[in-house]
């Protein structure tokens, strides 16, 4: 058992994860002072407020929140930060650099890079991540001698960094609707959907043998309707195991929707629904350009929609209908995607700022709703334990402690820190009851900047 004494902390009331303005009178979480948290086997076993610290307690000064969950990551895209803006930095500049970076990955280099990226996530306040992984094979598409070399590299990196990992093994068969994979995409693909399903089953067994299920789990992903033909969707719907999460890039750009309508007579969401793939286990990433019918489909199925505001802004994808999706019944989650920034607080307020810019109205999401999206909403799309959106008994002991007196946060009300804090204000991060980072320095690995400096030397 370990124990933490928090100067103040967001603790659950009777409302748990109740939605603001629709809580049925339930008691919403509140910030309490003198909060003493005891943990057993990485989970919170007791919480007391107005308590005094006991000998041996780890003292956490600041405001303790649940650590964030990152619902969408491409770890190797971290190479792109600050490198895709040559000239006016159009899409083709970004695409060329992305394929170059993917071509330079090896299992050894990827483990080193991902360890650094995951360490940056931990120091920024994330305790779990869903890695949307599609760089499976050698450059020519041939499997490695160890067929799961890339996947195991990512899992080992996560274990080194102490972050919970959902490894989303991705089906990627075509370069576009009716188009073969390009040479740059050869290492992303499998022979066919049956080969992917077999590899996925083998990967699940390999991960289960080597890693604890609370720390590393396996899910499935479809890259997009551009990369997965309809006949393959039928097989996925029939044969994909029901006990794992399913993610997909959905309606990220208007051209994707147009191509899908021309080929299949319906939108990407409609195509998934045609085969029964729109459900509560589906996480639709981006969902930027949806029709009203699409919104009804995803909301009616209680699907999760993963917004990545900093990436969607960086790539000029547009502003997705987050509030409409939420009101229709979808869960909203947040991810960092290509890691233009790795900062849960920036993603939270960027979601709200996008809504304000698109609607001309303030207050589209409350600070409480933003925190739910960054914690429980995101972790529900994963294969590792669900994070609570406030400290509560039985939840995993994953915390991030914010400095309320920094240049950015001083004067902010604790429950409104989503509109002032950044990752630079994260003092401590605790994962499974272990102090994992302090003032941006990883407790096991040291400075993420140093790790990233060394890892990035191996890429052009």
pLDDT digits (tens, 9 = 90+) for 331-351: 999 999 999 999 999 999 999
Strands (DSSP E) along 67-208, which ranges?
Answer: 68-73, 126-133, 164-171
pLDDT score for 214? 96
pLDDT score for 390? 97
Measure the CA–CA gap between 347 and 372, rounded to whole angstroms: 12
pLDDT score for 27? 61
Instruction: Name residues whose C-beta falls within 8 Å of residue 69's C-beta, 6 or more positions apart in sequence.
Output: 126, 127, 128, 129, 130, 333, 374, 375, 376, 378, 379, 382, 387
pLDDT score for 129? 98
Give 142-201 pLDDT, tens digit per residue.
999 999 999 999 999 999 999 999 999 999 999 999 999 999 999 999 999 999 999 999
Measure the CA–CA gap between 346 and 199, rounded to whole angstroms: 37
Percentages of the chain per state (helix, strand, coil), in multiples of 5: 35, 25, 40
Alpha carbon separation from 149 to 29, 75, 143, 206 (Å, rounded): 43, 16, 9, 11
Q: Which residues of the chain carry a pLDDT beneath 70?
A: 14-27
| Tokens 């402690």 sit on residue | 401
pLDDT score for 24? 43
Measure the CA–CA gap between 406 and 423, rounded to whole angstroms: 12
Tokens representing residue 192 in the block? 């066919």
| Angle between helices 193-210 and 149-161 in degrees, nearest 10 | 40
pLDDT score for 1? 85
Domains and CATH numbers, the chain: 2-66+390-442 (2.30.40.10), 68-381 (3.20.20.140)
What is the dihedral sign for C-alpha 350, 290, 244, 232? negative
pLDDT score for 14? 41
Of 411, 412, 409, nearest to 426 (Cα)? Answer: 409
pLDDT score for 112? 98
pLDDT score for 92? 86
Residue 425, classed as helix, strand or coil, is helix
Give 290-310 pLDDT, tens digit per residue.
999 999 999 999 999 999 999
pLDDT score for 138? 98
Runs of H (alpha helix) within 217-291: 230-239, 254-264, 268-274
| Tokens 């930060």 sit on residue | 81
- 370, with CB counted inside 10 A (0-12, 13-18, 19+), is buried
Residue 331, classed as helix, strand or coil, is strand
Instruction: Name residues whose C-beta falls within 8 Å of residue 160's C-beta, 6 or more positions apart in sequence.
Output: 115, 118, 444, 445
Of 67, 47, 70, 91, nearest to 394 (Cα)? Answer: 47
Instruction: Name residues whose C-beta falls within 8 Å of residue 97's C-beta, 6 or more positions apart in sequence.
Output: 79, 80, 83, 84
Question: Hey, which residues does 437 pair with through a beta bridge?
Answer: 429, 442
Strands (DSSP E) along 251-404, which ranges?
Answer: 282-286, 304-307, 331-334, 399-402
Question: Hey, which residues does 216 pair with through a beta bridge?
Answer: 165
């Amino acid at each position: 058992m370990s124990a933490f004494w928090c100067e103040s902390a967001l603790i659950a009331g009777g409302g748990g994860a109740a939605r603001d303005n629709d809580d049925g009178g339930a008691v919403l979480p509140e910030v309490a002072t003198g909060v003493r948290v005891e943990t057993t086997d990485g989970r919170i076993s007791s919480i007391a407020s107005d308590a005094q610290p006991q000998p041996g307690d780890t003292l956490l000064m600041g405001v303790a929140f649940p650590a964030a969950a990152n619902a969408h990551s491409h770890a190797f895209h971290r190479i792109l930060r600050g490198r895709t803006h040559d000239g006016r930095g159009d899409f083709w500049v970004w695409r060329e650099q992305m394929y170059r970076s993917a071509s330079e990955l090896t299992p050894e280099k990827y483990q080193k890079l991902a360890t650094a990226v995951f360490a940056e996530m931990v120091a920024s306040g994330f305790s779990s991540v869903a890695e949307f992984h599609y760089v499976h094979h050698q450059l020519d598409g041939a499997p490695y001698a160890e067929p799961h070399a890339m996947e195991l590299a990512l899992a080992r990196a996560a274990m080194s960094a102490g972050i919970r990992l959902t490894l989303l093994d991705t089906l990627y068969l075509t370069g576009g609707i009716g188009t073969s994979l390009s040479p740059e995409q050869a290492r992303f693909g499998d022979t066919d959907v049956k080969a992917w399903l077999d590899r996925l089953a083998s990967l699940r067994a390999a991960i289960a043998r080597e890693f604890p299920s609370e720390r590393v789990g396996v899910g499935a992903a479809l890259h997009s309707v551009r990369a997965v033909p309809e006949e393959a969707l039928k097989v996925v719907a029939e044969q994909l195991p029901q006990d794992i999460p399913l993610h997909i890039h959905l309606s990220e750009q208007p051209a994707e929707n147009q191509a899908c309508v021309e080929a299949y007579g319906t939108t990407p969401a409609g195509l998934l629904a045609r085969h029964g793939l729109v459900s509560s286990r589906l996480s639709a990433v981006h969902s930027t350009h949806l029709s009203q019918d699409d919104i009804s489909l995803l909301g009616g199925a209680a699907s999760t929609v993963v917004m990545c505001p900093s990436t969607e802004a960086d790539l000029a994808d547009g502003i997705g209908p987050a509030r409409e999706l939420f009101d229709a019944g979808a869960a909203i989650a947040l991810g960092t995607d290509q890691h233009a920034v790795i900062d849960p607080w920036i993603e939270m307020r960027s979601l709200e700022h996008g809504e304000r810019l698109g609607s001309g109205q303030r207050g589209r999401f409350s600070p409480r709703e933003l925190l739910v999206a960054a914690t429980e909403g995101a972790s529900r799309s994963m294969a590792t334990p669900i994070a609570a959106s406030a400290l509560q008994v039985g939840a995993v002991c994953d915390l991030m402690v914010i400095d309320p007196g920094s240049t950015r946060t001083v004067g902010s009300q604790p429950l409104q820190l989503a509109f002032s804090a950044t990752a630079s204000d994260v003092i401590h991060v605790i994962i499974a009851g272990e102090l994992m980072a302090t003032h941006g320095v990883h407790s096991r690995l040291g400075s993420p900047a140093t790790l990233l400096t060394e890892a990035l030397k191996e890429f052009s």
